[in-house]
Every structure is written in C-alpha cells, then in structure tokens.
Amino acid sequence: MADSSFDIVSKVDRQEVDNALNQAAKEISQRYDFRGVGASIAWSGDDRIEIRANAEERAKAVLDIFQSKLVKRGISLKALDSGEPQASGKEYRLFSTIKEGISAEDAKKVAKLIRDEGPKGVKAQVQGDELRVSSKSRDALQEVQRLIRERDFDFAVQFVNYR
C-alpha cells in the first residue's frame, strides 16, 4: 500500500483579503467618526496595504476595522504583519504586509516537532515554502494534524493535498 500524505502550507486567499479591504474602505467612508480625518486604506503594491489618517489613533482604528473584516472572512491575523503608524507630514501612515509561505526555519521547527512528538513512522520533508508529511497510516497523519493545530505558531497553517 502506498504512503498517504498531506502538505502543510501558509497561504492566503487574495480575493478574500481584497474583499475585506474594500469592506473596510466602505465602512471608513460611511462612519461619522471618520468624517474629515482623511482616513483611507488601499493596496500599495502586490502584498502591501497602506493606511492613512491625520492622527495615530485614527490609523490604528482603521487597522482594527480591517482586522475585524479579515476575521469575518476567515483569514488568520497571523498572515497580516503590521507596523506602527509613522508621521509623514500632516498625516500618519501605517503599512501592513500579507505574509505567505512557511520560511525554512519555521518549516524545520514544524518538522522537528513532528519527529519528536508525532507518531512513529511519520516523515516530514521541506519542499520550498511548504512541508510534505507522509506516513503509511492515515490515523498517524490525523494525529499529526491535531498536534500542529494545538501548537500556536507565529504563522497561519493550512493542510492541503490530503491523499
């Protein structure tokens, strides 16, 4: 019997992020407390989001609205890397980036966790920005998924290609 396997990845649905950004921009344009403060949120490049406002607190409030929209759309906040608001003339700018892929060192941490605490006979291989986990037993693979879900990594984790 062939080995069963699945991949551990860290990907974000770009369309869902775009929808959340558009919802946040619409809410900011309609809310009374954001009138006349020059608050805005928009894409600034492929995976970078720029938030502008005339006060540091307003910029953080816009980020909070955006984060709530991401959560409602099922996107982990671990995929969003936000900086601090920085003064730029009369306005404050806050940049956030969307993180995708598992770095080599994070993949090694997960592979070590699987080797040390996972069931016997489970193999983990780093393949680019994802991790392939394989075993003869599907039950062992489900045990590995449970083990990884219980851990709190600093990146979003999804399981794909289960066969």
DSSP-assigned letter for residue 83: -
Reduce the DSSP state of residue 108 to 3 states and report it: helix
DSSP-assigned letter for residue 32: G
pLDDT of residue 134: 93
| pLDDT tens, position by position, 22-54 | 999 999 999 998 888 889 999 998 889 999 999
Write the CA distances from 72 to 24, 69, 96, integer angstroms: 12, 5, 18
Distance CA 63, CA 105 (A): 29
pLDDT beyond 60 at 1: no
pLDDT of residue 156: 87
Structural class in CATH, domain 14-98: alpha beta
Determine the Cα angle at 106 with ends 104 and 109, to 5°.
Answer: 110
pTM for this structure? 0.85
Q: What percent of the chain has pLDDT over 90?
A: 63
**17, two tokens:** 């992020």
pLDDT beyond 70 at 122: yes
pLDDT of residue 2: 66
pLDDT of residue 43: 93
Q: Do 42 and 96 touch, CB atoms closer than 8 A?
A: no
Phi, psi dihedrals of residue 158, rounded to the nearest 5°: -130, 155
Shared fold status for 4-11+102-160 and 14-98: yes
Torsional class of 74: left (φ above 0), alpha (ψ -120 to 50), beta (otherwise): left
Q: What percent of the chain has pLDDT over 70?
A: 99
First to last CA, the chain: 13
Range 4-11+102-160 has CATH code 3.30.70.860 = yes
**Mean local confidence (pLDDT), 136-163:** 89
Q: Where are the domains of the chain?
A: 4-11+102-160, 14-98
Contacts of 60 (CB under 8 A, 6+ apart): 85, 94
Looking from the CA of 65 toward its CB, the CA atoms found within 13 Å total 23
pLDDT beyond 70 at 70: yes
